[in-house]
Amino acid sequence: MPEGAAISQMFGQIAHRYDAANHVLSGGVDFYWRKVLVGMVAKAKPQVVVDLATGSGDVAFALRRKLPAEVNLTGLDFCEPMLDEARAKQRDQFGDEAIRFAFGDCLDLPLESESTDAITIAFGVRNFEDRLRGLREMRRSLRPGGRLFILEFSQPYTWFRPFYYFYLKCVLPPLAAIVTGKKDAYDYLACSIEGFPARETLSAQIREAGFSEVRAVPLTFGIVAIHEAIR
């Protein structure tokens, strides 16, 4: 598992170019992934939603646009430069009150037990220093019947893997260096994606953390998946 402090420092170095890198390196498909995620959350009709590893806030902003205005929405992250980016974007798009952005470590959430209807986390679970501990923290924070939504890289369909891993190892890092100036961060990204468990294994880990129902929805040839779990 990666070291939390090193991950925070790495993301802090690329915060100002993070959004541009996501859009370029995914070919814009990240917009579609967020749309599917937000649609799944909206169907659950939560009243209190927390977006973990919120980064520059793209998932939180997508949720704010989709969910009713009365829904309480918080974005938490343990990287202050990323939170600064999110707050700046909020001032430009919504004003200061639409979403509460605050510091929060996924392994020790600043949330009361059984206080949240839905938790979202996009591309953050892969970076947990202790995955089971983080999953259990999310379960603790959810009310009975509450839902966890994890959007994360996964293992693609077998036929697509040679093309995908060629892109990850040979194309993505130099392209990321052009966009962000930090090739090493995206060398880490490629390695962390390749080593991340397949949908079945992650589903089993979510169940081990105490969730009663888990389903995985693969997207884009399986390179990402949304895991939905019920407390």
Phi, psi of 176 (to 5 degrees): -65, -35
Q: What pTM does this model have?
A: 0.92
Q: What is the pLDDT of residue 160?
A: 95
Within 10 angstroms of residue 28's Cβ, the number of other Cβ atoms is 10
Query: Which range of residues forms the domain containing residue 218?
Result: 4-230
Q: What is the pLDDT of residue 93?
A: 82
Count of the separate structural domains present in the chain: 1
Q: What is the pLDDT of residue 24?
A: 78
CB 202 within 8 A of CB 216: yes
212 vs 226: CA distance, rounded Å = 16
Q: In what order do the strands lie in the sheet with 224-230?
A: 100-103, 72-77, 48-52, 116-122, 142-153, 224-230, 213-219
Q: What is the pLDDT of residue 16?
A: 65
Residues of the chain falling short of pLDDT 70? 1-18, 20-21, 182-186
**pLDDT digits over 35-71, tens only?**
999 999 999 999 999 999 999 999 999 999 999 999 9
Q: What is the pLDDT of residue 181?
A: 72
CB 156 within 8 A of CB 223: yes
State the CATH number of the domain containing residue 151: 3.40.50.150
